[in-house]
Structure 1
Amino acid sequence: MNDLEQIRQWIATHSLLWNIFKFISLAVIILVLIKFSRKQLKKNIPDTALRYKSQKGIEILGYILLITLSVVYFTGSIKDFTLLLGLVTAGMAFTLQELILSIAGSLYIFLVKVYKPGDRIEINGIKGDVIDVDSIYTTMMEIGQWVSSDNYSGRIVKLSNAFVFKGPIYNYSQDFPFIWDELNLPIRYGSDIEQAKSIIIKIAIDILSDYTSKSKAQWKEVVNKFYIEDAQVDPTLAITLNDNWIQFNLRYIVDFKKRRFTKHLLHDTIRNAIKQTNGSVQLASSTLELIKIPKLEIDVKGKNST
């Protein structure tokens, strides 16, 4: 009877030692995986902030896993390590969700052809020309901000590719590398309106003829590809009457990179043409007309000192 009891004690003791050995082995494996993951993240993530967050996330996740393993391993509540592995995988997916979304975004960009280097886009409120797309980031040369119109600001912006899943993307050049623009001209009442219309339309047709002819062929392809109605790409003029002047609104199509220069050329050419009309067509400006000046009387009475 004593021999049987000794055998049982020996088995129980060695079983405990075996469990301790397995626990230490698993803990070492987890620590090695944490260290290996941190090194890989350091190599493959160029952005300092994202790299730091990812490394800290892996480290915290590893410690949580070690604590959980310590609590439940000897209680027998987790018999199958595959369940623990599933929890680790889910934790890593949650911790590295930004990185995973960025990689998925890069695949989406290349497969769906959302944009490519050379396109002008606006994403997450930032507008610029795409100069590079890698597995994590989209790099853009920024336009706008503190400079007017579509000029480069000089800043290079890196955006996570995850943003393609988080909001709209405006592409100025994909499929149809032209945009519609407009300018407004105030013409004084009493001007020769028909002459003014003729001047503006003629100048617009002459300056924009190249853009108009090229855009017509490409617009047909857009209409055939998408469910969209046919649009007018020739310059159009609309007139609005207001309290101060007759407003001429010229709408036209232009290359997406030539918007600012084209508007300058139209304004300058139209100004010179109106100047040559010798006053029959005049540009208007805001004026203030005084209808009546009130009469002002000052009565000054002197007093003699005594």
Structure 2
Amino acid sequence: MDAIQQLFQDYPLVKSILKYSVIVVFVLLCVQIIRRFLKRNIANTSVRYKSQKGIELLGYFILSVITILYFTGSIKDFTVTLGLLSAGLAFTLQELILSIAGSVYIFIVKVYEPGDRIEINGIKGDVIDVDSIYTTMMEIGQWVQSDNYTGRIVKLSNAFVFKGPVYNYSKDFPFIWDEFNLPIRYGSDIELAKSIIIGAATTTLAEYTKASKDKWTEVVSKYYVEDAMVEPTLATTLTDNWIQFNLRYIVDYKKRRITKHLLNDLIRKDIEATNGKVVLASATVELIKIPEIEIKK
């Protein structure tokens, strides 16, 4: 014990570093204990996640204040030291500071949160975690044509929330508009074709239409945006080869692919049941008349 006391007297810097280390370890342990307590006692996943992230950010803030006060020695030097430290860090650690600032911005403004589907910096996916530096996403798209997972987990710097647009598929209004075209051959019963397509869309999309109306009312009351048509709509265009039917409808952002499949399959079956009254067109060549050829001897 005497040897240790003598060591501290001869090397006060060692004592100062050890004391500071003990304080840091104590704060980190407190943060971990509180995080585990929240994890065990909060059943709601969203509330539990946000509370744990809040405690983590609070711990970082307390450590920053303790570090500055510990090495300056008094509160009156806090402002000056903080200014000098900020200037130095801003120059050497620009990206890191911007990432931390981005995490605070994301948390406070709620740009997005775990469970949201977003597109940022050209990357689209479902947010599975947001920490103090990175946003972690389960990627969708890329070489997969539909909105399915690729299997890759992407870590993206939180600084990107300040560098470009963030597309959120699920915040406030968890629905998107989708559409597809159907070519109907000239000579078909057009009114019957219209009723088949609209009938299939109305039946398949009834749940989404009702839910989206309520959500869109909330969007209109919150943002400066005009009311929109959420019921399925059909538009026709005359082309050189066929009558093109364009079906536009609203769907849950996570069920776009399966909904398009169900619609196409139902419409196909209903058209086949018309026994030729409605026929799907294709890019084929139809010979109406073969010209007569006279051969002179």
TM-score (norm 2): 0.69
Q: 2:107, 2:123 → 1: CA distance?
A: 20
The match for 1:125 is: 122
Q: Is the aligned partner of 1:93 residue 2:100?
A: no
2:239 to 232, 238, 242: 242
DSSP-derived class of the 1:283 partner: coil
Residue type matched to 1:224 in 2? S
**1:74-93 equivalent positions in 2, closer than 5 A:** 89-93=86-90
| Partner AA of 1:218 in structure 2 | K
The residue correspondences of 1:1-306 to structure 2 (distance < 5 A) are: 89-289=86-286
* Cα distance change, pair 143–294 in 1 and its aligned pair in 2 (3 A): farther
Residues 85, 185 of structure 1: alpha-carbon distance in 2 compared, 3 angstrom cutoff: closer
Calculate the aligned-residue CA RMSD, in Å: 2.9
Matched position secondary structure for 2:280 = coil
Displacement of 1:83? 9.9
Shift of 1:293: 8.2
Residue 143 of structure 2 aligns with an amino acid whose one-letter code is: W
Residue 60 (structure 2) aligns with:
none
Runs of 5+ unmatched residues, structure 1: 1-27, 37-81, 298-306
Residue by residue over 1:184-236, the C-alpha shift from the partner in whole angstroms, topping out at 9 and shown as x without a partner, is 10000000000000000011000000000011011000000000000000000
Measured in 2, the distance between the counterparts of 1:95 and 1:177 equals 40
Aligned-partner residue type, residue 222 of structure 2: K
Structure 1 residue 86: deviation in Å?
6.6
User: Displacement of 1:95 after TM fit?
Assistant: 1.0
Amino acid across the alignment from 1:277: T
Change (3 A) 1:93 1:216: same
Give 1 or 2 for the bigger CA radius of gyration: 1
Unaligned runs of 5+ in 2: 1-12, 22-78
Give, as a single letter, the amino acid of the residue that structure 1 aligns with 2:282: S
The number of aligned residues is 222
Q: Secondary structure at the match of 1:278?
A: coil
Listed one character per residue, the Cα deviations across residues 107-147 of structure 1 (whole Å, up to 9, x for unaligned) are 00011000000000000000000000000000000000011
Deviations 1:67-86 (A, max 9, x none): xxxxxxxxxxxxxxx99997
Counterpart CA distance in 2 for 1:83 and 1:259 is 55
Give the AA of the match of 2:182.
L
- Distance in 1 between residues matched to 2:244 and 2:202, nearest whole Å: 19
SS in structure 1 at match of 2:146: coil
SS at structure 2 position matched to 1:146: coil
How far 1:294 moved relative to its partner? Answer: 11
Amino acid of the structure 1 residue aligned with 2:200? I
Aligned to 2:164, the other structure's residue is in SS state: coil
The TM-score, its normalising length taken from structure 1, stands at: 0.67
1:272 aligned partner, one-letter code: K
Cα distance, 1:229–1:85 mapped onto 2, change above 3 Å: closer
The structure 1 segments of at least 4 consecutive aligned residues displaced by more than 3 Å after TM superposition are 82-89, 289-295
